[in-house]
Amino acid sequence: MANVDTHADNLPPDVAEQMAGENFSDLLDQAFEQEERLQGKVVNGLVLAVENDFVLIDVGLKSEGSIPIKEFSEAGAAPTIMAGDRVDVFVERFEGRDGVVVLSREKARREEAWNVLEKAFEDDARVEGVIFGRVKGGFTVDLSGAVAFLPGSQVDIRPIRDVGPLMGSPQPFQILKMDRSRGNIVVSRRAVLEETRAEERSELISNLTEGQVLEGVVKNITDYGAFVDLGGVDGLLHVTDIAWRRINHPSEALQVGQTVNVQVIRFNPSTQRISLGMKQLEADPWEGVDAKYPLEVKLTGRVTNITDYGAFVELEPGVEGLVHVSEMSWTKKNVHPGKIVSTSQEVEVMVLDVDRNKRRISLGLKQCVANPWTDFLEKFPVGSEIEGEIKNITEFGLFVGLNEEIDGMVHLSDLDWVKSGEEAIAGYSKGGMLKVKVLDVDVEKERISLGVKQLTEDPVADGLEKLKKGDIVTCTVSGTGDKGIEVSVGGDVPGFIRRSDLGRDRSEQRPDRFAPGELVDAMVVSVDKASRKINLSIKAREVEEEKIAMAAYGSSDSGASLGDILGAALKEKSEADSAEAEEAEAEDADAEDTADAEPEEAAAEAETPSEDAGDSEKEPEDAPEGAAAEDAGDGEKEPEDAPEDESEDEAKS
């Protein structure tokens, strides 16, 4: 009975009052029913003691319950529970394995929170929570004991790569959905921000003007700039507006959470986009840049950036110039700037041009060193001879290395006086040594013209000087084609006879009737010293010969044919040739007779006069014979010549 009385003292007053008038069995059943109603409920209990990381609590049941002390600690803080304090706990079971009441402070807090959250959800009110964990697709949020799910898309208005700064700090949330039976709560931070942002934006934008200076906090950093929170509305601070100097990434000058002063440089009321700038609050280093950097002055700068078209060199903080790839080296062409300079390298440059309006400074790197083209011209003026290696062979000429940096070109037309360029270049190979003559040096265009044929005299020029229009020459056929034949005069001077000039008759105007190596007579019709060729004509030679024959042996009015005239000319020429031959034979015969007569005359002097008389007697006999022969000869010639003379007289009449 003592145990029962002790237990009765702990019963509620209404139960103890009933026990006074009822029997023990009824009172005991009534007490157990009361205990069953408390199971799964939140009750208020008294802290009896705090021992060994456990808190002993009396909730008015048959035994006390113990709760781990960690359930009484707030997030990140030490527990402050003490004996004598009254707290709300959750009754899980009347008896555990050891026969004592099982209590939970955490579940009691959760039940309390659920009650508060349900009311807030019904009233569409905001709740406060702390992001404390990361799960698949989002984060977990502690809402004063109740655990809610925060989707990743509901963290902020814009996607956030790093949520670290938001974790562990109290944040306002809006409950989107909750189910107490499943213990499921979905919250959104974005909805709160959008609502707050709309209120603050309308107030801020109504007073916003371009040029206004505001204070903001760096909210997020991207590759192209940083977003600055101006107090409810965000503005974009582009990377080019952070500082006057070159900044490759905003993180070089800014950090998330940093407080900065910015100026509103552009504001679009329709889209409500705000562009901010920090460098506009500083002095412009481009002011007076014309006076600080006069043309052709040499300066030292640092390479800050390298591109395909050149390198940027910083002359002072905020002022950069561009060294174009064409101004980097005198000799290295089509080379990437990164192979000439490197980032952060100190280089000496020359100011070539300054455009303050466009904020551009053109710099030159090669102008700070000697020009190798000028040096070459001083050492090897035009007309000098130099030997170099054949670096390359192209379809238009040879490239010859003159030194380690400079190459010169020998054009096809400067290889040989007589041979064609294609024929002459076939005799050269890459890597061979070649002696050349400097023909021209163009320092501005950085070109050197060389020649091989200029090392010798021009045989064609001498031949051209000797020839003039109207000369009849003998030439050798070197080649045939559809348009005519190629010939050479004197073995050096090239010439050409057109198809129409191969003969007077059309049947003779066929190039295929000539063979290479054949000799032909032709008349020079033109001499082209520029192209170093002469034009000839067989037809013109024939016409000229006809004119000479006509002038010498007849006229077009006499009625004689060209064949008769040419026949007479040929006959006269033949007779003249025969007469010359007879005279030559006669002279030879006289010389032989004279040689034979000398010994006979010596013998005759010793003979008697009777021999002289004998000779005198023979003379009358020989004389008639010779005269008769002469008369006979004359008589025979007259009949033959008469018709020819008569025909000539008729032709003349």
Q: List C-alpha distances in Å: 192 to 430, 450, 614.
A: 78, 81, 172
As to burial, measured by CB atoms within 10 angstroms (0-12 exposed, 13-18 middle, 19+ buried), residue 554 is buried
DSSP per-residue string spanning 446-508: TEEEEESGGGS--HHHHHHHH--TT-EEEEEEEEE-SSEEEEEETTTEEEEEEGGGS-SSGGG
Phi, psi of 45 (to 5 degrees): -130, 165
- Look at the domain 124-193 and name its fold: OB fold (Dihydrolipoamide Acetyltransferase, E2P) (2.40.50)
Tell me which H or E stretch contains 20.
helix 13-21
Q: Is the pLDDT of residue 390 over 50?
A: yes
Confidence of residue 537 (pLDDT cuts 50, 70, 90): very high
CATH architecture assignment, domain 294-368: Beta Barrel (2.40)
- Look at the domain 2-109 and name its fold: OB fold (Dihydrolipoamide Acetyltransferase, E2P) (2.40.50)
**Amino acid of residue 293:** Y
What is the rounded distance in angstroms from the CA atom of residue 36 to the CA atom of residue 91? 10
CB 65 within 8 A of CB 102: yes
Tokens 């039976």 belong to 181
pLDDT digits (tens, 9 = 90+) for 5-60: 444 455 555 555 555 555 666 655 555 555 555 666 677 778 888 887 787 777 77
Answer CATH for 372-455 from 2.40.10.340, 1.20.1080.10, 2.70.70.10, 2.40.50.140: 2.40.50.140
What is the rounded distance in angstroms from the CA atom of residue 418 to the CA atom of residue 420? 7
pLDDT at 568: 62
What is the rounded distance in angstroms from the CA atom of residue 606 to the CA atom of residue 349? 122
Where do the DSSP E strands lie in 269-359? 273-277, 298-306, 310-316, 319-324, 346-355
Average pLDDT over residues 417-425: 83
CA end-to-end span of the chain: 192
pLDDT digits (tens, 9 = 90+) for 617-638: 434 344 344 333 333 334 333 4
Confidence of residue 186 (pLDDT cuts 50, 70, 90): very high
What is the rounded distance in angstroms from the CA atom of residue 531 to the CA atom of residue 175? 96
**Other C-beta atoms lying within 10 Å of the C-beta of residue 30:** 14
- Domain 208-281 grouped into CATH 2.40.50.140: yes
What is the rounded distance in angstroms from the CA atom of residue 297 to the CA atom of residue 565? 90
**Amino acid of residue 389:** E
What is the rounded distance in angstroms from the CA atom of residue 413 to the CA atom of residue 213? 73
What is the rounded distance in angstroms from the CA atom of residue 266 to the CA atom of residue 571? 112
**Other C-beta atoms lying within 10 Å of the C-beta of residue 104:** 18
Which residues contact residue 317 at a Cβ distance below 8 angstroms, ignoring those fewer than 6 apart? 244, 245, 285
CA 33-38-42 angle, 5° bins: 170
pLDDT digits (tens, 9 = 90+) for 258-277: 899 999 988 887 787 889 99
Tokens 């100011």 belong to 351
Strand partners, 184: 179
Output the six-digit token pair for 549: 């024959």
pLDDT > 70: what percent of the chain? 76
pLDDT digits (tens, 9 = 90+) for 80-107: 777 777 877 777 766 656 657 777 777 7
Q: Provide the Cα torsion 154, 160, 161, 165; round to 10°.
A: -100
Q: Is the pLDDT of residue 611 over 80?
A: no
Which residues contact residue 435 at a Cβ distance below 8 angstroms, ignoring those fewer than 6 apart? 385, 386, 387, 452, 455
- Three-class DSSP category at 522: strand
Q: At what angle do helices 2-9 and 13-21 cross, to 10 degrees?
A: 140
Confidence of residue 207 (pLDDT cuts 50, 70, 90): confident
Q: List C-alpha distances in Å: 526 to 65, 203, 472, 518.
A: 132, 96, 12, 22
Which residues contact residue 595 at a Cβ distance below 8 angstroms, ignoring those fewer than 6 apart? none
Which residues contact residue 257 at a Cβ distance below 8 angstroms, ignoring those fewer than 6 apart? 165, 217, 218
Which residues contact residue 379 at a Cβ distance below 8 angstroms, ignoring those fewer than 6 apart? none
DSSP 240: G
Q: Is the pLDDT of residue 324 over 90?
A: yes
Q: What is the largest CA-CA distance in the chain?
A: 230
- Tally the residues of the chain: 653
Which residues contact residue 88 at a Cβ distance below 8 angstroms, ignoring those fewer than 6 apart? 42, 43, 44, 45, 105, 108, 112
Written in H, E and C, the secondary structure of 62-129 is CCCEEEEHHHHCCCCCCCCCCCCCEEEEEEEECCCCCCCEEEEHHHHHHHHHHHHHHHHHHHCCEEEE
Domains in the chain: boundaries: 2-109, 124-193, 208-281, 294-368, 372-455, 459-553
Output the six-digit token pair for 295: 């043309």
Tokens 């008015």 belong to 60
pLDDT at 225: 92
- Fold agreement between 2-109 and 294-368: yes
Tokens 């037809």 belong to 539
Mean pLDDT of the chain: 77
pLDDT at 312: 92
DSSP 242: S
pLDDT at 35: 53
pTM of the entire predicted model = 0.41
CATH number of 459-553: 2.40.50.140
DSSP 625: H
Q: List C-alpha distances in Å: 304 to 38, 180, 307, 337.
A: 76, 61, 10, 13
